[in-house]
């Protein structure tokens, strides 16, 4: 069973939803997870995005940059590495406790086709954080299906397409056409523009969770 952030909190710590109409259901699911009657999962994107906090999410993704590193690997050899970089941001303490509780219940994260922000907050949990890969051929087929879904969402202006569009829009406005779209997100000028980015990144996170489900669940072939 796969859980998103809003349901993850309730089933890991049912007391948090005491008095709510879903409290009894949260208790039942919590006990089922604790006893091993069901196995729980959560998308890696839930952690990579929500663990940063709503405000930090915009700053971290918008602070992306492309960096190069050159080093000598021998008397007549030079290696050049080029890739994306983000500033490291500490995981939200409350979210960290939530993750620890989920892992204690036997839950594991599902790696998904990574888009943004490439597991910024996920580093350092160790191999036991993730559900192990399945049959390589099956995993490849599911990955291809996930990419098809991603493209279909983009054609409809959904998923991460909203964030990409805003990034390109802000870059163009500032005369910086051609820069990487996450850099454009860092050009938000006021609270209204940041609010648009927060909503766009939330849509991107939801799409990433669905890609994780497709990548790992046989019923999504």
pLDDT in tens, 149-166: 778 877 887 777 888 889
Mean pLDDT value across residues 125-129:
71
Structure-block tokens of residue 144: 């291809």
Only one residue has tokens 């008095």, namely: 19
Mean pLDDT value across residues 37-65:
77
Whether pLDDT at 51 is above 60: yes
pLDDT in tens, 129-143: 777 766 777 767 777
Helix 161-173 × helix 191-216 angle, to 10°: 150
DSSP state of 179: S
Question: With b meaning 16 or more CB within 10 Å and e meaning fewer, what string describes 14-51?
Answer: beebeeeeeeeebbebbebbeeeeeebbbbbbbbbbbb
Whether pLDDT at 113 is above 60: no
- What pLDDT is attached to residue 44? 77
Mean pLDDT computed over every residue of the chain: 78
Please state the domain extents for the chain. 2-220
pLDDT more than 90, % of the chain: 16
Mean pLDDT value across residues 172-197:
89
Structure-block tokens of residue 177: 């056409």
β-sheet with 2-3: strand ranges across = 2-3, 41-43, 108-110
- In sign, the C-alpha dihedral spanning 17, 19, 20, 25 is positive
Least Cα distance to 186 among 129, 99, 116 occurs for 116
């Amino acid at each position: 069973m796969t859980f998103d952030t809003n349901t993850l909190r309730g089933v890991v710590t049912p007391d948090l939803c005491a008095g709510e109409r879903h409290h009894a259901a949260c208790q039942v699911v919590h006990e089922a997870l604790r006893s091993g009657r069901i196995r729980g999962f959560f998308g890696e994107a839930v952690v990579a995005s929500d663990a940063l906090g709503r405000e930090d999410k915009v700053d971290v993704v918008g602070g992306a940059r492309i960096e190069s590193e050159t080093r000598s690997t021998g008397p007549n050899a030079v290696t050049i590495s080029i890739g994306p970089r983000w500033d490291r941001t500490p995981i939200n303490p409350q979210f960290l406790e939530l993750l620890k509780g989920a892992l204690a219940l036997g839950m594991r994260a599902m790696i998904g086709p990574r888009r943004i922000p490439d597991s910024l907050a996920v580093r350092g949990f160790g191999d036991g954080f993730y559900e192990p890969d399945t049959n390589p051929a099956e995993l490849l087929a599911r990955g291809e299906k996930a990419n098809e879904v991603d493209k279909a969402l983009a054609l409809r202006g959904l998923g991460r397409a909203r964030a990409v569009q805003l990034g390109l829009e802000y870059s163009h406005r500032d005369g910086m056409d051609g820069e990487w779209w996450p850099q454009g997100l860092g050009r938000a000028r006021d609270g209204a523009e940041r609010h648009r980015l927060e909503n766009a990144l939330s849509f991107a996170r939801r799409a990433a969770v669905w890609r994780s489900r497709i990548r790992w669940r046989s019923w999504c072939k």
